[in-house]
Structure 1
Amino acid sequence: MVRSTTLPGRLRKALTWVLVGLAAVLVATFAGARLELGHWLAWPGYVWLAVMFYLLIFLVVLEVPRAVAAIFVRRGERAAALEPVPAMVGGPAPSEPAPSAPPMSRRLFLGRATAAVAGAGALGTVGYGMASALGDPVIERVKVALPKLDPRLSGLRFAVVSDIHLGPLTGLGHTERIVRMINGLEADVVAIVGDLVDGSVAQLGALAQPLKNLESRYGAYFVTGNHEYFTAAGPQEWIEELDQLGVRSLRNERVEIRHQGAVLDLAGVNDLNGESSGDGPDFAKALGGRDAGRSTVLLAHQPVQVEEAARHGVDLQLSGHTHGGQIVPFNLVVGLQQPVVSGLATVDGVQVYVTRGAGFWGPPVRVGAPPEITMLELGT
């Protein structure tokens, strides 16, 4: 982007230092986020991270046509070097033309053309991704048939949301919009499947306040995600805060949802990241001793937790964590770690629905994975 597009001189040096400065901003952004400092650096740092990522993608893709074009450029240069210069025979020497700027070399033209295409592609992609990430989540309507579901529970509706990621790049409007959209679904149960926050209650408590306005027939429930364990105080302060807001945390436990004279077991387990602090998932505690004839819906942040859920006879698991990949082609990488990237699938005999999440982590960009709130309806 610099060496191939400029000649030696001040411009090349200036652009090089610009890139060095942007790299420093990126490092400061990550360091500030870990120390809960420097949030004012988040916007330029994370946006540059997204631009840099897509510049890399476009430049790698453009290496093929660039290499082919370079072959023709080298051939043209060799042909020009071998072309004979006509000799002057007799007569006065013609007057020399006035000096002019040297023509742009073929190599310089090729470098600038490649950089222009990559730059336009990266900026366009990131711009589109920001509009998607910062816009309204998509409402995904999904029907899930559970073979042993009591017919009286047919039609029970869950509003599923995950990965809201309240943090330095989200404002109060982000939470208010999500609450407004969930309330518009008139769900029976609201399930918040982890990664609600990226900071402490002291920092982000005001952003969570709209959650007290969540509306549903049988209540709102929450399970921890991996990001709840990244704060210095751990998840406990947020569990207490959510309790004050009317959102119940399911900490390796279950509740009964009574609907039209029938009962559904709704269970929740802690995230895997809690294991290092003795606060990990306990499936036996959450699911042991229940009536095996009832259908069970499990809230578990990471889709990979379905492997243990299958051993405990869960009928349906609701998860998040993946963001659907958030930015293409990361969806391909996520698939190497998790059994489901997004949507409904069956793993080890258990149906799993993975929501793409309503927020974003890091860059405020979503490409190929728009934010989502899910209206999930149970049936037989």
Structure 2
Amino acid sequence: MKVFFLFLSVLTSLLGFIYYYSTFRLISGLSLNGPIVTLILVGIGALVILVPVTYIFSRVSKREKTQTFFAYLSFTHFGFFSILFTLVLVMDLLRVLDFGIISDYSRFLFSTLLQLGFPIDGVTEVKNFSLAFSTIVVATALSSLGFYNAHVRLKYKKTKIPVQNLHRDLQGFKIVQISDVHIGPTIKEKFLRRVVGKINLQLPDVVVITGDLVDGPSATLKHHLKPLADIKSKYGTFYVTGNHEYYSGVLSWLPEIEKLGIHILLNENKIIHVGESNLLMAGVTDLTAGSMIKSHQTNPHRAMLGGESCDYKILLAHQPNSIYEANKVGFDLQISGHTHGGQFFPGNVLIYFAQKFVAGLHQYKGTQIYVSRGTGYWGPPFRLGAPSEISVLTLQSVE
């Protein structure tokens, strides 16, 4: 709980800086003054406070429709201001690095707005006004596109996993992965039912869920997981925990997930017999789990026990950074999520400072790693430059 409130405190402070910096720069650029400025600043303060309040409310309230409404309101403006802040920084840079192009554009835009009847004839700083106005328009357009992508676009990401000396009975073995669904404040049963429908269309041999399935208490959200019971695959569905399960009461969630017929792998494994071959499906707890529940300390070595002689060894690990230990233990493939691919701009640029493996298929020494961009989203209901995915991984023999 202390970690949760520390997280909210840091988040609120960061939001306060982002929101107010962006607002002051745009107020200056638009040459606003008088009572409207006071009104805007008070409104911005309310929006900042709304984010942590909504996050807490979503975890304690039983009024689902109300909390969903406020969650959408809160996290949407959170995403909008994240994009706006980045564009404001770009605006400030363009104001300095003009090269004449920006001035020409500013005069053109300003004259166009005057012709359209905008009441801006009293504005004296044409360039500042035009840049500020454009920043708001572009931020609104990008936010709208991001919202659309997160809610409408859900595509398969098909990847062939090349394997040397692959057992003939594992040729074409199909794994469908979902990750980072984040059932919680704004993602509900309807979305998950759509995901399950798309999973089943792929006729998978096995389905894997690589953490951050939920984002809130089981008491209020468990009924939204019902569609998972309808997943159809030849060898079952396997699940590992992500960091958000530990923020959401993981011990109460695990029995609910198990009731759906899902195999939970907590530093353990299951050997799948495919024809005459043996495939090891292992899973570890989240990298941070041990700091919250000591018995859940991630342990790839334990996850391997008994499966060392299998023909192909897969490790499910929420965070890509588990790859270093996975390689030491001898896994052939690690399947992960966690990164969201950065989710939306500028996150899809900044994420590379925190993660070496962000999305797609990579190789680390003798172990391959596939990282999903995630199926849902966290916080802001946006996807921009990092599309959500249902990953379809097919083992393919190579010479």
Q: Normalising by the residue count of structure 1, what TM-score does the alignment of the two structures yield?
A: 0.86
Deviates more, 1:27-36 or 1:216-225: 27-36
Return the alpha-carbon distance in structure 1 between the equivalents of residues 120 and 145 of structure 2.
39
Which of residues 78, 82, 106 in structure 1 aligns to 2:124?
Answer: 106
Contact 1:201 1:237 in 2 (8 A): yes
Return the alpha-carbon distance in structure 2 between the equivalents of residues 309 and 7 of structure 1.
57
Return the alpha-carbon distance in structure 1 between the equivalents of residues 344 and 69 of structure 2.
23
TM-aligned CA deviation for residue 106 of structure 1: 2.3
| RMSD of equivalent CA atoms | 2.4
Which of residues 67, 79, 91 in structure 2 aligns to 1:50?
Answer: 79
Which of residues 346, 352, 361 in structure 1 aligns to 2:369?
Answer: 352
2:232 alignment counterpart: 215
| Residue 257 (structure 1) aligned with residue 275 (structure 2) | no
Contact 1:2 1:16 in 2 (8 A): no
Return the alpha-carbon distance in structure 1 between the equivalents of residues 121 and 225 of structure 2.
61
Return the alpha-carbon distance in structure 2 between the equivalents of residues 70 and 259 of structure 1.
65
Note closer, same or farther for the CA distance 1:72–1:203 as it changes in structure 2 (3 Å cut). closer
Return the alpha-carbon distance in structure 2 between the equivalents of residues 69 and 142 of structure 1.
44
- What code does the residue aligned with 2:137 have? A
Which of residues 60, 68, 88 in structure 2 aligns to 1:59?
Answer: 88
Return the alpha-carbon distance in structure 2 between the equivalents of residues 354 and 72 of structure 1.
41
TM-aligned CA deviation for residue 102 of structure 1: 11
TM-aligned CA deviation for residue 31 of structure 1: 4.2
1:152 alignment counterpart: 169
Q: Normalising by the residue count of structure 2, what TM-score does the alignment of the two structures yield?
A: 0.82
TM-aligned CA deviation for residue 147 of structure 1: 1.8
Note closer, same or farther for the CA distance 1:240–1:72 as it changes in structure 2 (3 Å cut). closer
- What code does the residue aligned with 1:123 have? T
Which of residues 315, 319, 323 in structure 2 aligns to 1:298?
Answer: 315
Note closer, same or farther for the CA distance 1:249–1:4 as it changes in structure 2 (3 Å cut). same
Contact 1:6 1:12 in 2 (8 A): no
Identity rate of aligned residues, in percent? Answer: 32
Contact 2:284 2:300 in 1 (8 A): yes
- What code does the residue aligned with 2:170 have? L
The structure with the larger Rg is: 1
TM-aligned CA deviation for residue 36 of structure 1: 6.1
Q: Match of 1:375, SS?
A: strand
- What code does the residue aligned with 1:59 have? V
Which of residues 158, 183, 187 in structure 1 aligns to 2:204?
Answer: 187
TM-aligned CA deviation for residue 155 of structure 1: 0.8
Return the alpha-carbon distance in structure 2 between the equivalents of residues 338 and 194 of structure 1.
17
TM-aligned CA deviation for residue 39 of structure 1: 5.1
Q: Match of 1:169, SS?
A: coil
| Residue 237 (structure 1) aligned with residue 252 (structure 2) | yes
Q: Which runs of 5+ in 1 are unaligned?
A: 74-100
Which of residues 10, 23, 40 in structure 1 aligns to 2:35?
Answer: 10
Q: Which runs of 5+ in 2 are unaligned?
A: 1-25, 103-118
TM-aligned CA deviation for residue 68 of structure 1: 5.4
TM-aligned CA deviation for residue 168 of structure 1: 1.1
Which of residues 152, 155, 180 in structure 2 aligns to 1:138?
Answer: 155
Contact 1:163 1:358 in 2 (8 A): yes
2:326 alignment counterpart: 309
Contact 2:283 2:317 in 1 (8 A): yes
1:77 alignment counterpart: none
TM-aligned CA deviation for residue 345 of structure 1: 0.2
2:304 alignment counterpart: 287
Contact 1:167 1:204 in 2 (8 A): yes
Contact 1:148 1:295 in 2 (8 A): no
Q: Match of 1:146, SS?
A: strand
Q: Match of 2:147, SS?
A: helix
Return the alpha-carbon distance in structure 2 between the equivalents of residues 144 and 106 of structure 1.
60
Return the alpha-carbon distance in structure 1 between the equivalents of residues 207 and 394 of structure 2.
12
Q: Match of 1:271, SS?
A: coil
Return the alpha-carbon distance in structure 1 between the equivalents of residues 82 and 120 of structure 2.
35
- What code does the residue aligned with 1:18 have? G
Return the alpha-carbon distance in structure 2 between the equivalents of residues 34 and 336 of structure 1.
31
Contact 1:130 1:366 in 2 (8 A): yes
TM-aligned CA deviation for residue 174 of structure 1: 0.6
TM-aligned CA deviation for residue 7 of structure 1: 4.3
Q: Match of 2:266, SS?
A: coil
Which of residues 266, 281, 284 in structure 1 aligns to 2:281?
Answer: 266
Return the alpha-carbon distance in structure 1 between the equivalents of residues 31 and 356 of structure 2.
47
Note closer, same or farther for the CA distance 1:179–1:102 as it changes in structure 2 (3 Å cut). closer
Q: Match of 2:156, SS?
A: strand
When the two structures are aligned, how many residues end up with a matched partner?
351
- What code does the residue aligned with 2:274 have? H
| Residue 225 (structure 1) aligned with residue 250 (structure 2) | no
Contact 2:277 2:311 in 1 (8 A): no
